[in-house]
Structure 1
């Protein structure tokens, strides 16, 4: 990682699962994840004492290894401290090791099985009732839908390709009904790839956009002609 800097995502109390996945990747990239997951060999207090003793005398090989472990643990703790807002920081202010800080956040925001079950049920309900809005572009709707799917994945909920295809086809606006009918009648919905369906829908979106542009040009052209006729009729 020399010569490069990884900016840790900031956790504000929301979307903990996304933050957790990102921060775990950062810890692993620095070789620090084992300190988060398993902690350091001895307590921070004892380790600090050994370091202070070692600083005043020639350190043994074991002492040097413990010093290195303590420094890496402190580095990992610093990453977590810098990756939370001032509102979240008081929760971990007294943690002396990264493992302790990690577990405090995990217990509060990850939640137990019952809490996770309630959250997942809420996401499932949102997924079922999500529909494309009349004034929404296809890309924006797909982004919104994908955000929901990704949140469900953090709870280990996996949606099949077929389920995603069906969801999109039944949740678009009326402008897409003709192309959706074509897809349903010409494609095997149990095997057609989700990305293939999206590509067809995006082509339809481009045609719809072009129709709007053509209609606008025609309206302006008609308005211009009418204006000229009226001007000619003025004495």
Structure 2
């Protein structure tokens, strides 16, 4: 029954683009199956000079089975044009690291990408034509990419960024939020709820003004 359940779980397919998003989905999948440790850390085999105990032999057999399972899943999770990159990998960790190094880049490349994303987050501002929801989507996209590179971006930092980069028409609600809310405990969901409610009030006022003009 367990095998049939696992077979029904959708595994995202990597076609060479958006590696960061794919790798996060795969990590979550492996965590859900208690297989992430095999991917991330691999496993060690007893030294040839030692005689493993029955317990060690059983553990090694289990690790080898899990490693083969993960390697098979990774092979199925890439398109045929990507598969040759990992077809020579003998362990899941080797296959995972091969994809990571090629498509996410080495540490230096990752640092450069992260610096670019930090600059993008620093400079992003709301457009006059945007709604709060649309603007948050742009901010969230940058933040998600930074988190994919292991950057620790707290909700507090996201909220602070949004509050200082909204257009002038949001000044009254921003002031109200800063005076009445504890930013350190305010959630992004609560913030967006307040901003969207404020937008609706503004829209109703504009509609009333137009109707009055006629």
TM (norm. structure 2) is 0.73
* Alignment of 1:81 onto 2:84: no
Task: Report the secondary structure of 1:87's partner residue.
Answer: coil
Paired with 1:190 and 1:65, the residues of 2 have a C-alpha distance of 49
2:157 corresponds to 1:135: no
Residues in 2 aligned to 1:157 and 1:142: alpha-carbon distance in whole angstroms: 19
Aligned residue number for residue 29 of structure 2: 26
Q: Which residue of structure 2 lines up, in the alignment, with residue 45 of structure 1?
A: none
Q: Tell me the CA shift for residue 86 of structure 1.
A: 3.3
For these two proteins, the number of residue pairs brought into alignment is 202
Rg larger for: 1
Q: Hey, what's the Cα distance between the residues in 2 that align with 1:10 and 1:92?
A: 14
2:119 corresponds, among 125, 135, 143, to 125
Contact 1:40 1:70 in 2 (8 A): no
Residue matched to 1:7: 10
In 2, Cα distance between equivalents of 1:214 and 1:83: 55
CA shift at 1:127, angstroms? 0.3
- Aligned equivalent of 2:49: none
Point out where structure 1 has 5 or more consecutive residues left out of the alignment: 43-60, 223-235
Residues 1:193 and 2:186 aligned together? yes
CA distance in 2, matches of 1:40, 1:6: 29
C-alpha separation between the residues in 2 aligned to 1:113 and 1:28?
24
Mapped partners of 2:155, 2:26: distance in 1:
29
After TM superposition, the structure 1 stretch with the greater mean CA deviation from structure 2, 8-17 or 201-210, is: 8-17
Q: Which of 69, 88, 99 is the equivalent residue of 1:105? A: 99
The answer (yes or no) to whether the contact 1:40–1:73 under 8 Å persists in 2 is: no
In 1: Cα distance, 2:158 partner to 2:181 partner: 14
Which runs of no fewer than 5 residues in structure 2 stay unpaired?
A: 47-54
Shift of 1:118: 0.8
Q: Distance in 1 between matches of 2:60 and 2:149?
A: 37
Distance in 2 between the 1:168 and 1:159 partners? 13
Q: Give the 3 Å change call, closer, same or farther, for CA 40–11 of structure 1 in structure 2.
A: farther
Partners of 1:182 and 1:10 in 2: how far apart? 46
Aligned match of 1:38: 42
Secondary structure at the aligned position of 2:145 is classed as: helix
How far is the alpha carbon of 1:119 from its aligned partner? 1.1
